Amino acid sequence: MTGFRLAFGGAQELYNVQADIVTFGKVIGGGLPVGAFAARSEIMDYLAPNGAVYQAGTLSGNPLAMKA
């Protein structure tokens, strides 16, 4: 897992690797309770609504974050 803390393209860019999953936390929300993740399509296909795995978090659907 990697975000963009080390370089603009993340650790992927710095170490010249292709990550399976990337995560982005507080930095993308400018202080709002926001985070994001992305992955290769074969991994993301396991998550609902397509797959059987339900993904949720403590602040999922937070009205302030969604409005922003």
pLDDT in tens, 17-32: 998 988 887 777 777 7
Q: Is residue 40 part of a domain?
A: yes
pLDDT at 50 > cutoff 60: yes
Cα 36 to chain centroid, rounded:
3
Let me know if residue 42 belongs to a domain.
Answer: yes
On whether residue 8 sits in a domain, the answer given is no
In total, how many domains does the chain have?
1
Q: Is 15 among the domain residues? A: no
- Judge whether 13 lies within some domain: no
Residue 40 belongs to domain spanning: 20-56
The answer to whether residue 52 sits within a structural domain is yes
| Confidence (pTM) | 0.59
pLDDT single digits (tens) 32-46: 777 788 899 998 888
E runs forming strands in 1-68: 21-24, 36-39
